[in-house]
Homo-oligomer: A and B are copies of this chain.
Amino acid sequence: MLREAFPCLHQQVNGKPLVYFDNAATAMRPQVVIDAVTDYYCHHNANIHRGVHCLSGRATDLYEQARASLARLINAPSPDNLIFVRGCTEGVNLVAQTFVRERLQPGDEILISHLEHHSNIVPWQIVCQQTGAKLKVIPMNDQGELVLDNFDTLMTERTKFMSVVHVSNALGTINPVKELVQKAHAKNIPVMIDGAQATPHLKVDVQDIGCDFYTVSGHKMYGPTGSGVLYGKAEHLDAMPPYHGGGEMISKVTFEESIYNKVPAKFEAGTPNIAGGIGLGAAAEFIMDVGINTITEREDVLKKYTEQALQGIDGLRILGQAQHKSPVFSFLIDGIHPHDIGTIIDHHGVAIRTGHHCTMPIFQFFDVPGSCRASLAFYNTEQEVDILVESLNQAKAMFA
């Protein structure tokens, strides 16, 4: 069974079997990913792109094969469209500083949505402060879906960039990113998609979506921490100035000037997270081996089961009921604060997240300080959902 592939799932917490429903914060890693990391350290430990010696050659090959695996996973035209980054947050900051910043004049606008993670808000606020541009926000409705009725009027001739989340980490909403890209492109607005919560659960095809940039977070898609890739269209990556200066990103350095290397090296200054990149490649292969459709289908079943189970609890309210959504449930229970729920059910072995999930504006919309969030993955089970429900009932009893 696939669940067996994830060693960390098989343990007791507070004397109870672990029920891990915090996958949106970070996913579990399958043994093949852990092995890929260990294997590099134990057998191919060397720096990449540098040495004529054997280990260095092997490490370089593994690293570049990983890039190719990721390109296949998201259907990028070439591995050279992918830059290794620490995670989605670095991807957004990189694009904000190297692509967007220099295009902005005071009064220009950047469009994001009300569903964004802080990682897709704060980098734009920073670039707005730096340039005098303004942030505009696509609104959402009570279901947690974007309201696109007036979308065309939100895009003005001052709109220089749009960045929108593919799948909301707080509510699970799956946004119609292809449609958004088409509409923005019709007005010549380049678009970035924050794919942190998409690659672990959905088929992602960056060419079909048509976006200019797409950020992928490794640790959310069963890969190592500190790994991720930023996809960019070749013409953008070629034209952008580098982000970090350092080793590997240059082809010639004198004290007077430096000539930058080609993409993707231009954006990968210094020694990268080699083990992390190799492990992320293994995660991409793992997803393709299992089959992303298999994953989505299994998660759909789990999602329906969980929704029904939660709706059976008196006084429980689910925030975000989008028609298209991932197996993520933000909920509140009358009279019990989310943190208290989190602590109580942790005592029953159930790991959920409580708080604002780095999406404060969503909770400002719902006018609550936060929620409980149960975020599932394909390796979770119906039985685990039953344990969640049972433990929530215990919390209610305690506060009755």
Q: Which residues of A contact B (CB under 8 A)?
A: 7-8, 11, 13-14, 18, 20, 22, 25-26, 28-29, 33-34, 37-38, 41-47, 50-56, 86-90, 92-93, 96, 117-119, 121-126, 135, 137, 217, 219, 224-227, 242-250, 252-255, 257-258, 269-276, 339, 342-343, 346, 350-355, 358, 360-361, 364
Contact = CB atoms under 8 A, between A and B. Distances in A.
A123 B272 CA distance: 16
Given A225-B272, A246-B89, A254 B361 contact: yes
Given A86-B272, A244-B90, A354-B52, A253 B118 contact: yes
Contacts of A50: 25, 353, 355
17 contacts: A7-B42, A13-B54, A22-B47, A25-B51, A25-B56, A29-B45, A34-B38, A34-B41, A53-B353, A86-B86, A122-B258, A125-B258, A225-B271, A225-B273, A226-B276, A254-B364, A273-B276
Contacts of A242: 126
A93 B353 contact: no
A122 B253 CA distance: 8
A41 B29 contact: yes
A39 to B, nearest CB: 10
Contacts of A252: 360
Given A42-B7, A245-B93, A269-B122, A255 B135 contact: yes
B41 A92 contact: no
Contacts of A269: 89, 93, 119, 122
B55 A258 contact: no
A206 B44 CA distance: 33
A270 B87 contact: yes
Contact of A89 (B117, B270, B276, B361): B270
